[in-house]
Amino acid sequence: MPLAEAREKARVLRKIAREGGDPVVERDKGKRDVPTFKQAAEVVHAEHKPSWKNPKHADQWINTLKQYAYPVIGDRAVDQIDTPEILRVLSPIWLTKPETARRVRQRIGTVFDWAKASGHRTGDNPVDGVARGLPKQTDSAKHHAALPYGDVPEFLKAVRDSDSGVIAKHAFEFLILTASRTSEVLEAQWDEIDFEAKLWTIPANRMKAGRIHRVPLSKRCIAILTEAKAYRGNSPYLFRGRSDKRPMSNMVFAKIMRTLNSAATPHGFRSSFRDWAAETTSYPREVAEMALAHTIENKVEAAYRRGDLLEKRREMMEDWAGFLYSRIPDN
């Protein structure tokens, strides 16, 4: 603080004392209500939580801050934190856990945006300048590892021949057949299945795009679900976990991948499906994109497209199943 400014503040405080006021109270006025970073983060989390579709994402949002930010800046008032402190949070994980670090940076930035909007601090967001003090990450364009589509039938055969539990094998097979996301399959419930229409309807609150998604089920999918009824018990989930009330853990899929020495990821089978559709079939691009529940980027096209191309997708998913079992007996 410049000397002249300090003298002026001291003069004001002496004047307050002469007039019978409390200079200490006046000095600290406005600071008593400034929350710590931890308090601010929990307010932001509570305010945003109702808007998040996935409860798991809501938990991850606050848990990453608890793990990485709280130990460094959690107890400090939000108006007393600057870029060097943010750098201390991010530096240890910036290169070793790049994706996590980027998410932590974004979430810290959200907390400080709230703090400024709420009048608890002024000036720039301290996260804005942190990039200049961090090394360049090399995986910013990294995608989920995927098998070439020609290798998927052999991989699927290996899954079916493995020593994994029948529920895990059925769930993984269903994932590949439907080209769905892991969470969509693991959280799938019996009341979403229409056996007569051979249709799986995923509610909007479980979809990344926030819209209902209908998945046509191939003959093999129906066969899997028919077999799954035998171990359903009282569980609402297609592929039950260790108890009736919980779905299977996504770690089961990761374990299967490790057991089979595959460098691919479960999510990568969506890419395998997309490449197969593009390179070996004549189905229009929009049919394959609709099967993956991708958002239509062209706003004009999105405004005019009302249907979901269900019947065209039904034919395509049956062809995908036919390709997958071209080297596997369908039993």
> pTM of the prediction?
0.58
Q: What is the mean pLDDT of the chain?
A: 85
Q: Where in the chain are the domains?
A: 35-133, 149-324
Local confidence pLDDT in tens for the 331 residues of the chain? 566 666 666 676 677 667 666 655 555 554 558 999 999 999 999 998 887 766 777 888 999 999 999 999 999 999 999 999 999 999 999 988 888 888 899 999 999 999 999 999 988 899 988 888 888 876 544 456 788 999 999 999 999 999 899 999 999 999 999 999 999 999 999 999 999 999 999 998 888 878 899 999 999 999 999 999 888 888 999 998 887 888 888 888 888 988 888 888 888 899 999 999 999 999 988 899 999 988 655 444 444 455 678 999 999 999 999 999 886 545 4
Question: What are the tens digits of pLDDT across the range 140-165?
Answer: 444 567 889 999 999 999 999 998 99
Please write down the HEC assignment for all residues of the chain: CCHHHHHHHHHHHHHHHHCCCCHHHHHCCCCCCCCEHHHHHHHHHHHHHHHCCCHHHHHHHHHHHHHHHHHHHCCCEHHHCCHHHHHHHHHHHCCCCHHHHHHHHHHHHHHHHHHHHCCCCCCCCCCCCHHHHCCCCCCCCCCCCCCCHHHHHHHHHHHHHCCCCHHHHHHHHHHHHHCCCHHHHHCCEHHHEECCCCEEEECHHHCCCCCCEEEECCHHHHHHHHHHHHHCCCCCECCECCCCCCECCCHHHHHHHHHCCCCCCCCHHHHHHHHHHHHHCCCCHHHHHHHCCCCCCCHHHHHHCCCCCHHHHHHHHHHHHHHHCCCCCCC
- Fold held by 35-133: DNA polymerase; domain 1 (1.10.150)
- Fold held by 149-324: hpI Integrase; Chain A (1.10.443)
